[in-house]
A = this chain, B = another copy of it.
């Protein structure tokens, strides 16, 4: 595959590569939220939230809708949640693997010493 495509995809993953932005996307699972609502639920300060939202906008992960003075954000493509679910699955698999490894190490040390 093309190097340029990988460049674009890397930008996409960079947009996801921050805890605050993942938290924002998680909040948006239940539908659109205003900046103020996001600010309250993540308890971060306002410019921080706006900056992360700008980053998410830059990669077209979210879209903004203005109503008077408040801006509502929503994810642009619900497939993003699908992506986050697969990521969660990978995460859980890793945890299971490590637990199995720990169990195995415990057993080996028991049979060596006992």
A1-30 interface bits toward B, Cβ cutoff 8 Å, 1 = contact, 0 = none: 101001111111110111111110010000
Report B-chain residues with C-beta under 8 Å of the C-beta of A88: 9
A82 to B18, CA, bound (A): 21
Report B-chain residues with C-beta under 8 Å of the C-beta of A80: 90
Report B-chain residues with C-beta under 8 Å of the C-beta of A107: none
The answer to whether A86 and B94 touch across the interface, beta carbons within 8 angstroms, is: no
A3 to B19, CA, bound (A): 7
Q: What is the copy number of this chain in the assembly? A: 2
Report B-chain residues with C-beta under 8 Å of the C-beta of A19: 3, 6-7, 9-10
A-B contact pairs, 29 of them (CB 8 A): A1-B26, A6-B19, A6-B22, A6-B23, A6-B26, A7-B19, A9-B87, A9-B91, A10-B18, A10-B19, A10-B22, A12-B90, A12-B91, A13-B14, A14-B14, A14-B17, A17-B17, A60-B94, A60-B97, A76-B94, A76-B97, A77-B93, A79-B90, A82-B86, A83-B83, A83-B86, A83-B87, A83-B90, A86-B86
